[in-house]
Amino acid sequence: MNKSYLFKCLKVLSEERKIFHSEDDFNHAFAMEIDRTLNRESKKYSVRLETPIDIIYKKRGTNLEYNYTAYIDMLIVVGNGDWIPIEIKYKTKNLDSAFVDHFKVEFNPKNHSANDVSRYEIRKDIYRLEQLTGLQKVKKGFSIFLTNEPNYWNYDINPSFMDGHYRLAKRIQKKDKGWIYNSVEKYYDKKSGRYYSKTNGKLHFTYSAAYDLQLDVKRDYEVHWHHYSDVSTTEFKFTIFEIS
């Protein structure tokens, strides 16, 4: 399996499903399409969802490491014992009006406004997959991101924004340079060395365990966006990263 194979599966899926209710809906529909395609050619594959796997994370700015159980969105188990893990992301913005497909099912996607968090989560997925490729039974993995939010493919790395180092227009950098606090309303506490909100005095959300990780990856990853579907007045695009 390679990128071209997943492109083929996504093209077939786009003819049947131009849009999804949620990330789980996309993951399930894509898994079914992969299962159909793989087992049409060979009965040596099993497609699993939400498989728990232990991952080692490192806290940003420290040598502290800890184990965390992550659930891999999709896992393809090959008859020879190999695993192919796939991480899925699906983020949407509101449509001008609800979309009704040819089965008369109505879609009115949510507006996922936290683009900064989503960009960070893509790097986190790649980091996880790189760890898994260190296992003997995992030769490669894939991260797939589908969205109709143009901000993801229009804006490149920019130090003027808090998530500037996590932008996805052209590339993901090998070194995780972290969040950029210059552009947010905050104040710096010299004693703790952390940033707090000026409005409510709370610690900035990026210091929570999920977003305070050092996610260095093994290489730079180029980002290429591809057309998936047109729905009402919006376009869905996807990008695929192959991790090996």
Query: Could you tell me which of 164, 186, 181 has the C-alpha nearest to residue 173?
Result: 164
Residue 91's DSSP bridge partners are 147
pLDDT tens, position by position, 42-57: 678 899 999 999 999 9
More confident residue, 177 or 38: 177
Strands (E), the chain: 45-58, 65-78, 83-91, 99-100, 106-107, 141-147, 171-172, 186-189, 194-197, 221-222, 226-231, 234-243
Q: How far apart are CA 106 and CA 75, in angstroms?
A: 30
Within its chain, how far is the Cα of 81 from the centroid?
26
Report the DSSP pairing between strands 106-107 and 99-100.
antiparallel
Prediction pTM value? 0.92
Partners of 21 in the β-ladder: none
Contact by Cβ (8 Å): 244, 139: yes
Residue 202 corresponds to which tokens in the numbers above?
Answer: 């709370």
Chain centroid to Cα 21, Å, comes to 17
Residue 86: pLDDT band (50, 70, 90) is very high
- Who wins on pLDDT, 57 or 37? 57
Q: Which of 227, 243, 223 is nearest to 157 (CA)?
A: 223
- Contact status, residue 30 vs residue 14, Cβ threshold 8 Å: no
Residue 101: which of 48, 29, 163 has the closest Cα? 29
Tens of pLDDT, residue by residue over 183-221, are 776 777 767 778 887 777 788 888 888 999 999 999 999
pLDDT at 41: 65
